[in-house]
Structure 1
């Protein structure tokens, strides 16, 4: 699969993941669950959804899931989120505190890191089978 097609699929998975995450938050808030638990549950569901869809559809990995593959995915998620926070901190220092510009830049860095690390570290061809 081409890099462009994989990136497009990754983006579509992200959009779907966002919709699912918001639905989980909405449902839990309606059930009286607080903001923090609803947010945590949403991220939990989102990480699982992201793993399955990116593995099978974006990067077309087949076969059984190895525990090392899951560990790599969670590591990539954490590193990408760290890059997000780093960019957000930088943007705040540049005068973009409480700004959609700062948040947008942070989201772009997160998405780029998550895609590239997923493609080359988590779901690289033949890697999951090892």
Structure 2
């Protein structure tokens, strides 16, 4: 559910920016910036149940995980497009799947890891 909500926020932001006259690249950058912020907040609170003050370390780690997962996404996309064609929906699905397979565990282990009880 958080992924769906985040996608709606991101696409809505992109379409709003386009509607008020922003070019496609600007709209995309703004949309992703808003969606990344939304993703952080939704994942932190609803997916991983973290409460309390947000730390700079947490934000930095989240951004690092995002770029890592996005890099994997792009690598898989380029590889699968080279085999299936540039417009292949299968390539897109595989790329998004790879993103998710990297993003979730790294977010769980590196960003919002639970403190062990001593």
| Equivalences for residues 92-111 of structure 1 within 5 A | 92-111=81-100
Q: Report SS of the residue matched to 1:89.
A: helix
Partners in 1 of 2:106 and 2:38 — Cα distance? 17
Partners of 1:39 and 1:126 in 2: CA distance? 36
Which of 34, 47, 59 is equivalent to 1:45? Answer: 34
Partner residue, 1:61: 50
Distance 1:119 1:36 in 2: 31
- 1:82-112, Cα deviation, whole Å (9 max, x unpaired): 0001111221232343200001100100112
CA-based RMSD of the aligned residues comes to 1.2
Residue 68 of structure 2 corresponds to 79
* Runs (5+) with no aligned partner, structure 1: 1-11
1:121 aligns with 2:74: no
TM-score w.r.t. the length of structure 1 is: 0.85
Distance 1:63 1:77 in 2: 22
Note the residue ranges of structure 2 that are not aligned, 5 or more in a row: none
SS class of match (1:113): helix
Greater relative CO (CA pairs within 8 A, separation 6+): 1
Alpha-carbon separation, structure 2, partners of 1:77 and 1:88? 16
2:15 aligned with 1:26, yes or no?
A: yes
| Matched residue count | 116
